[in-house]
Chain A
């Protein structure tokens, strides 16, 4: 995939408030077609919630946005910058790992299983990327980290190790860690699926708080109530395509497609 020529002529920076632009994205794992032409637009400051049955490709879509997965066709841009490729004339050149890593510092990613670094304290988890990737002075990074921990309600856990925290606390640390890079967009991959039911609320509250302050977010989740309350746009995916999207009132209360109705009737 060194020369991707598909849809190059459309790959131009968008200046109309679009933060994330996903265009005709295909992704295969061997013979399995996981994404079969996904289009998605997220405006700055908006919250997009992606719903869909497991295997519908929603996690894979999220992972292509920060280039954890390479796309096979199509392209993705964030704030007008192509992800994973550099355009030169009529060709797309694959970016070097170093440049992909730099692009990822603009994209916060929160994993289902938190993936905190267990051998580092909470504070060190938060300052690792700002210090090593953005070359922030350690002092400054620590100040930011403390402020963020306070924001997620964990100011007293600065020196704890991740395994000394509950799942909900770990996920809040993971959110703070993603925020420490001051990303342009935050991606959440089923952030509450690994949590005990009584811990889901504290994590959703943090995400809601971020939504109120205008953070651009894409959230893959099974929490329909959360989608209804927070989302500007709800996207329903099935079998590798976006089946329908729109405001929560439209998609959740009067879905147009049979597949959306079938899914919602099972989870509501």
Chain B
């Protein structure tokens, strides 16, 4: 490229010679770039926008949605109370389910054939029973076992209570959800654990780190990277899955909504109330998941990507800087008090 200069390259068409001018033979950097036109893509985009606009218009104008009823109920005491019950069920089943699931995962990975078979059988059974069937079973536990007690296996019982008094409806629901969740959680945790590179365990063993500490400090934090995306799915699924405990007449969100529309017949707006709450709660969980995942990604990337919040702040800062630059000569420093 020794012959090219900063001015028009030799042999290049001089500006204004018209479209018939032969293609420039010189430095391509001096030529105008014409981006590809995606006509089909634009048409498809426009069609989708029209469809969405129609739907939103319908939401706003179709009287069947009854937005007034929605407004009346969405923050009503009954509904807020019901949301609280839904949250409690989700929280208990998540925490207990994943605790039990983690234990089951390590039992399945255990070298003892008895323990690993027991864990496998548990997972097999509880994944086989539909949650709703299992819940009704627990609801009817007292028909199966009238009393629960402690004693010598197959021997005398020292202490016992009536099953119904110790396990209320809510207890039965939590147990049902937990046992169901644990089966899935076990497989998720096991997947995370076997995804941890074998060398990590070897290094921990070679350093003489105690076994439980190896699991808690070396294996699980790394397994979390693989566990969290699926676990997020599970917890969100569980949040919505709590709606099936309506069969046990527990006052969670979906049950209360049904009770209300059973009374007043406003089915659509009340289903909207439930929908809105489920969407809000799921969104909050998704945000939480993002930050938890980020925490466990420490050390995984050389430079962690900025959070949306950091990105927004950075964007505002650039805007401000740009604005300041544009306004610099115009804004002289005003002495304080001048503005009055």
CA distance A132 to B208 in the complex (A): 9
B213 neighbours in A (Cβ, 8 Å): 132
**A105 adjacent to B207 (CB under 8 Å):** yes
Q: Which of B199, B202, B208, B299 contacts A120 (CB 8 A)?
A: B299
**B301 adjacent to A181 (CB under 8 Å):** no
Stretch at the interface among B67-75, B214-222, B314-322: B214-222
**A117 adjacent to B302 (CB under 8 Å):** no
**B203 adjacent to A181 (CB under 8 Å):** no
**B210 adjacent to A181 (CB under 8 Å):** no
Q: Which of B200, B218, B296, B298 contacts A161 (CB 8 A)?
A: B298
**A119 adjacent to B298 (CB under 8 Å):** yes
- B199 CB, min distance to chain A CBs, angstroms: 4
**A97 adjacent to B211 (CB under 8 Å):** yes
Q: Which of A111, A117, A178 contacts B218 (CB 8 A)?
A: A117
**A101 adjacent to B200 (CB under 8 Å):** no
B210 neighbours in A (Cβ, 8 Å): 98, 101, 132-133
- B320 CB, min distance to chain A CBs, angstroms: 31
Contact with B along A165-191 (1 / 0, CB 8 A): 000000000000110010000000000
CA distance A118 to B221 in the complex (A): 10
Max chain B C-beta neighbours (<10 A), residue from A109, A132, A164: A132
**A177 adjacent to B302 (CB under 8 Å):** no
User: B300 an interface residue at 8 Å Cβ cutoff?
Assistant: yes
Contact with A along B276-302 (1 / 0, CB 8 A): 000000000000000000001011111
User: B114 an interface residue at 8 Å Cβ cutoff?
Assistant: no
CA distance A123 to B221 in the complex (A): 17
- A199 CB, min distance to chain B CBs, angstroms: 17
**A118 adjacent to B199 (CB under 8 Å):** no
B296 neighbours in A (Cβ, 8 Å): 119
User: B47 an interface residue at 8 Å Cβ cutoff?
Assistant: no
**B205 adjacent to A104 (CB under 8 Å):** yes
**B299 adjacent to A162 (CB under 8 Å):** yes
User: B206 an interface residue at 8 Å Cβ cutoff?
Assistant: yes
**B221 adjacent to A115 (CB under 8 Å):** no
**B302 adjacent to A129 (CB under 8 Å):** no
**B208 adjacent to A104 (CB under 8 Å):** yes
**B211 adjacent to A119 (CB under 8 Å):** no
A101-B209 contact given A113-B199, A115-B202, A117-B200, CB 8 Å threshold: yes
- B215 CB, min distance to chain A CBs, angstroms: 12
B208 neighbours in A (Cβ, 8 Å): 101-105, 129, 133, 181
Number of A-B contacts (CB under 8 A): 78
CA distance A178 to B202 in the complex (A): 13
Interface size on A, residues (CB 8 A): 31
A119-B202 contact given A101-B211, A104-B208, A181-B208, CB 8 Å threshold: no
Q: Which of A97, A129, A161, A164 contacts B207 (CB 8 A)?
A: A129
CA distance A129 to B200 in the complex (A): 13
User: A68 an interface residue at 8 Å Cβ cutoff?
Assistant: yes
User: A64 an interface residue at 8 Å Cβ cutoff?
Assistant: no
A104 neighbours in B (Cβ, 8 Å): 205-208
A128-B209 contact given A118-B222, A119-B221, CB 8 Å threshold: yes
B217 neighbours in A (Cβ, 8 Å): 128, 132
User: A221 an interface residue at 8 Å Cβ cutoff?
Assistant: no
User: A163 an interface residue at 8 Å Cβ cutoff?
Assistant: yes
**B207 adjacent to A181 (CB under 8 Å):** yes
Q: Which residue of A lies closest to B296 (CB)?
A: A119
A103 neighbours in B (Cβ, 8 Å): 208
B222 neighbours in A (Cβ, 8 Å): 117-119
**A132 adjacent to B299 (CB under 8 Å):** no
A121 neighbours in B (Cβ, 8 Å): 299
- B212 CB, min distance to chain A CBs, angstroms: 10
User: A66 an interface residue at 8 Å Cβ cutoff?
Assistant: yes
**B209 adjacent to A111 (CB under 8 Å):** no
Contact with B along A72-100 (1 / 0, CB 8 A): 00000000000000000000000001100
Q: Which of B197, B199, B206, B207 contacts A128 (CB 8 A)?
A: B207
Q: Which residue of B lies closest to A106 (CB)?
A: B208
Q: Which residues of B contact A (CB under 8 A)?
A: 197, 199-200, 202-211, 213, 217-218, 221-222, 296, 298-302
**New A-B contacts (7) at CB < 8 Å, excluding given A101-B210, A101-B211, A163-B302:** A103-B208, A104-B205, A115-B200, A132-B209, A132-B210, A161-B298, A181-B207
- Nearest first, the 5 closest Cβ-Cβ pairs linking A and B are A161-B299, A115-B203, A105-B208, A129-B207, A109-B206
Q: Which residues of A contact B (CB under 8 A)?
A: 66, 68, 97-98, 101-105, 107, 109, 111, 113, 115-121, 128-129, 132-133, 161-164, 177-178, 181
- Complex A-B: 11 CB contacts under 8 Å: A68-B202, A97-B211, A101-B210, A103-B208, A107-B206, A109-B207, A111-B199, A115-B197, A115-B202, A132-B213, A161-B299
